[in-house]
């Protein structure tokens, strides 16, 4: 998993509440367990006017021009701004895979579904929960200002807009450190491989009969 670094990204306002994982990545795309290749199918039923299938070439599919991510001003967005309970529904890890593959690095919402929230950290996405009034203000700014962007500084736990307005956010220190160092659960385990080996050697010495066949 890549380290999460400070970046400035265009913000796309997906002004809806209770967006579930089936909307993020529809069920027909769950056949693959590879983490890449899901970006073209992100929000498939909202982005396109036809029905999508795995492996389909999306380059010539009819687009829903009213959907926010199809609008020219938001096509390079790397920050998704939305309402409460984002990522609810079934606990599919394909949802953060699709968001990350599309280019979304940070999601700002009023609240998140627990399993989706946890899966974001496992895949290098920063989910930020802000009070509703902050989200409302950002949505208004994003709609009014073409190219509205935010600078995300995870180490300082702040967002900064083009007017130098600073918005602090909360995050657990453990999750923050894991993102900054690019460590998922496997990476965190491997970072302590020497301690694991030491334990195994010591365990073998103390309880040799356990290991006899």
Q: How many CB atoms lie within 10 A of CB 161?
A: 19
Q: pTM value?
A: 0.89
pLDDT for 49 equals: 97
pLDDT for 190 equals: 67
pLDDT for 33 equals: 80
What's 86's DSSP letter? B
Distance CA 1, CA 124 (A): 6
- pLDDT tens by residue, the chain, 213 residues: 889 999 999 999 999 999 999 999 999 999 888 888 999 999 999 999 999 999 999 999 999 999 999 999 998 999 999 999 999 998 889 999 999 999 999 999 999 999 999 999 999 999 999 999 999 999 999 999 999 999 999 999 999 998 899 999 999 999 999 999 998 777 666 667 777 777 887 877 788 887 776
Query: Which part of the chain is CATH 3.20.19.10?
Result: 7-182
The answer as to CATH 3.20.19.10 being correct for domain 7-182 is yes
144-150: long-range contacts, CB 8 A cutoff, minimum separation 24 = 146/73, 147/10, 147/73, 148/10, 148/11, 149/8, 149/9, 149/10, 149/11, 149/79, 150/8, 150/9, 150/11, 150/79
- CB crowding 99-122: b at 16 or more within 10 Å, else e: bbbbbbbbbbbbbbbebbbbbbbb
């Amino acid at each position: 998993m890549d380290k999460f670094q400070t970046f400035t990204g265009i913000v796309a306002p997906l002004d809806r509440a209770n967006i579930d994982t089936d909307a993020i990545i529809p069920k027909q795309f769950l056949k693959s367990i590879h983490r890449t290749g899901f970006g073209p199918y992100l929000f498939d039923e909202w982005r396109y006017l036809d029905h999508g299938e795995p492996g389909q070439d999306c380059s010539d599919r009819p687009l829903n021009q009213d959907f926010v991510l199809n609008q020219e001003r938001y096509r390079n967005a790397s920050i998704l701004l939305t309402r409460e309970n984002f990522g609810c529904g079934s606990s599919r890890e394909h949802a953060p895979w699709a968001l990350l593959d599309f280019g979304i690095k940070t999601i700002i919402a009023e609240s998140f579904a627990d399993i989706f929230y946890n899966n974001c950290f496992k895949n290098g996405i920063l989910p930020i929960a802000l009070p509703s009034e902050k989200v409302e203000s950002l949505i208004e700014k994003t709609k009014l200002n073409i190219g509205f962007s935010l600078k995300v500084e995870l180490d300082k736990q702040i967002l900064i807009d083009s007017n130098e307005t600073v918005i602090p956010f909360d995050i657990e220190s453990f999750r923050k450190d894991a993102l900054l160092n690019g460590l998922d659960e496997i990476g965190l385990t491997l970072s302590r491989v020497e301690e694991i080996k030491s334990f195994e050697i010591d365990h073998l010495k103390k309880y040799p009969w356990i290991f006899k066949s």
